[in-house]
Structure formats: C-alpha cells, structure tokens
C-alpha cells in the first residue's frame, strides 16, 4: 500500500535528476509528495511542479516547497503528517533528519549521503591509460561535486608514477570556464562559501604533508573557479584520505598488496561507491565483495541505468533509489487474515 505523504529533500548538484529519482516512484506507488529543493538550486524543481500541474496532476498530489534547510527542511523532518522522508545530501544533515524523526512521529527516513569513493588500480589493470583517464574524468566531472566522485585513487606502487603522471596531464588539459560555453570542460563550484571550504581541505592537505602535483589555486577570473587539483604521497592518517571534499581534489594513495588495497578502501566512514581495475575476473569478484560499497564498477566508472539500484552502506546511507527497489521505500506491507 502507498505509505502516505512523502517529503523528498534533494541537493543542488543534480537537482532535477535527484528529484525525479524520488518523486517518480513515490507518485507511482500512490503517495503524495512534498519536494524541497536545495536553496541554491530551486528553479528546476519549481518548473517540474508547474509542468506536473499542466499535465493534469491533481492539486495537492505533488507540491514544491522552496526554502532553506534549517527552516523548510527541519519543518518537513518534524512534521507529524509526513510518513516518509527521502533525503540526498551530506551525512551531517542526514543525522539531523534521523533526530527529527525520533522527535516527531518516527517517520521512516531514507538517506543517500556522502562518499569518499576509492578507485583501485591493480597492477594488472588491462588498460592503464584508460584507467587514468577515467580517474581524471570521475573526480573532475561536475567539478567533483558528486557523492560518488572517485576522490581516492588507490594505485599499486609499481605503476603509480605512470598513472599519476597521466592523471595530472588530463587535469592540466581541462578548460575551465563558463558552463554555458560548449568549449568548457570544467565549470565553477556552486557558491563562494563552498569554494572556501574546498580551499580549506587543500590547505589542510598541504599542512599534513601531501605533495601537490597539479592545481590547488583559484582561477583568475570572476566566479567560484578552482583549478583541478591532484595530491599524491597521501597517507591514510591524513584528513584528505578520510574527509569528503565535494570538489575537484584527488588524493592518491599507493599500496603493495591486494589486501592492503582493500584495507585502504574500507578505511573511511563511507561506503557509497568504488572502482576496481583488473584484467582478472576472479580478482574482480574477490575485491568487489571485499570492498564495502553500495556500487562497485570494474574497469569503468559511473555506469548506471534507471533499472539498477543506487545507494550506499555505512555512513553513506541506506535504501535505494532507482530500480524496483525504490518502490519499497514508499510502500507499506500489510498482512490480512480472513476467515469466512
């Protein structure tokens, strides 16, 4: 049965996509929906609401409430008539929603949270050049403002120099500028405040002793532009190896054995996604099972489809968007016994 009223709270990095992943299955199961977009990116959600109304969706079935997290988001989290709250965003805010549920009606809370995804390049990687290109694309696409961004490159020490050199070459080849310019390959960060936070992570990496290989500075032009940044000689005890940056900053760590690679991959509070590069299918299965992540890509990264579930483990959240599993979040199971 439909669970009832669903509050969907979505982030600013992919505002329309994230909204669709939650709104569509909730409506399909017969629920009513209140969508709260991030305050930095409300317009696509408001347009979606207008289009739904024009398409004939009855009034009150799909609602859009624009507002800030501490006010509108908190109100939805505490509202006694909200039965399910589905949230994509930071782990810190996810904790707030769990508290709101505990302090109100024990509503179900589904969380898709942060990540510090490892991209493991084993010594038998079938195409090291493609692995390096994928590593660069993965961390610098959308300015690194992605929960699944492969922000930790774990590479075998025997091939580390060549892989890192290739990643740096890709980083330096990116054209930074206006995202509306077709020639641009990396745009600006979302806000000045977020840019300052990312710069704080870079400063901490310098202080901890990581080696800057590329980037690390603001771009000399109006806007929140930052050079694509690569640090190597990162060690597991450094903040850059543990903390989500949510920006175009790559941390490179090396390993000597498969077991060490798995330990490094699992050495964070997150478990959203991972990449594994190997030519051996048995190794691919073994490492994929050992790494704690909701999604593992082998010899690729960021593949996906609406028919495939997406979500994390550990402090990257629980529950799944996309696929038939998304319907489970917005339905209740009822058992009825009848004797005639």
Q: Provide the annotated active-site residues.
A: 112, 147
Strands (E), the chain: 5-9, 32-36, 62-64, 84-88, 108-112, 118-121, 152-156, 211-214, 229-232, 249-255, 273-277, 295-298, 317-318
312-339 burial: b if 16+ Cβ within 10 Å, else e = bebbbbbbbbbbeebebbbbeeeeeeee
Beta-bridge partner residues of 35: 8, 64
User: Are 164 and 213 in contact, with CB atoms under 8 Å apart?
Assistant: yes
Biggest CA–CA distance in the chain, Å, is 79
User: Are 266 and 287 in contact, with CB atoms under 8 Å apart?
Assistant: no
Show Cβ contacts of residue 187 under 8 Å, excluding neighbours closer than 6 positions.
Answer: 143, 176, 177, 178, 179, 225
Cα–Cα separations (whole angstroms), residue 304 to 266, 272, 308, 322: 23, 14, 7, 10
Nearest CA to 176 out of 213, 237, 224, 132 is that of 224
Q: Which helix (H) or strand (E) holds 283?
A: helix 281-290
- Angle, CA of 78, 96 and 242, to the nearest 5°: 165
User: Are 211 and 233 in contact, with CB atoms under 8 Å apart?
Assistant: yes
- DSSP state, 70? I
Q: How many Cα neighbours within 13 Å face the side chain of 267?
A: 18
């Amino acid at each position: 049965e439909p669970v009832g009223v669903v509050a969907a709270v979505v982030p600013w990095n992919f505002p329309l996509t994230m909204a669709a992943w939650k709104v569509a299955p909730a409506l399909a199961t017969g629920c009513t929906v209140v969508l709260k977009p991030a305050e930095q990116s409300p317009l696509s959600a408001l347009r979606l609401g207008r289009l739904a109304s024009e398409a004939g969706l009855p009034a009150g079935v799909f609602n859009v409430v624009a507002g800030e997290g501490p006010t509108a988001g908190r109100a939805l989290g505490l509202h006694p008539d909200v039965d399910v709250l589905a949230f994509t965003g930071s782990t810190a805010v996810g904790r707030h929603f769990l508290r709101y549920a505990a302090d109100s009606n024990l509503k179900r809370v589904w969380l898709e949270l942060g990540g510090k995804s490892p991209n493991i390049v084993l010594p038998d990687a079938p195409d090291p050049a493609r692995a390096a290109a994928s590593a660069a694309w993965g961390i610098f696409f959308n300015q690194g403002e992605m929960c699944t961004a492969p922000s930790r490159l774990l590479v075998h020490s025997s091939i580390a120099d060549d892989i890192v050199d290739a990643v740096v070459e890709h980083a330096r080849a990116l054209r930074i500028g206006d995202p509306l310019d077709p020639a641009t390959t990396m745009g600006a960060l979302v806000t000045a405040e977020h840019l300052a936070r990312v710069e704080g992570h870079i400063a901490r990496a310098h202080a901890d002793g990581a080696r800057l290989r590329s980037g690390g500075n603001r771009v000399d032009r109006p806007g929140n532009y930052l050079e694509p940044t690569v640090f190597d000689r990162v060690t597991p005890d450094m903040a850059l190896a543990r903390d989500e940056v949510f920006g175009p900053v790559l941390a490179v760590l090396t390993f000597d054995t498969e077991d060490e690679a798995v330990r490094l991959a699992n050495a964070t509070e997150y478990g959203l996604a991972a990449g594994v590069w190997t030519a051996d299918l048995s190794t691919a299965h073994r490492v994929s099972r050992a790494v704690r992540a909701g999604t593992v890509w082998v010899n690729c990264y960021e593949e996906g489809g609406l028919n495939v579930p997406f979500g994390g483990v550990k402090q990257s959240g629980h529950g799944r968007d996309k696929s038939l599993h998304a319907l489970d979040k917005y339905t209740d199971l009822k058992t009825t016994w009848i004797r005639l």
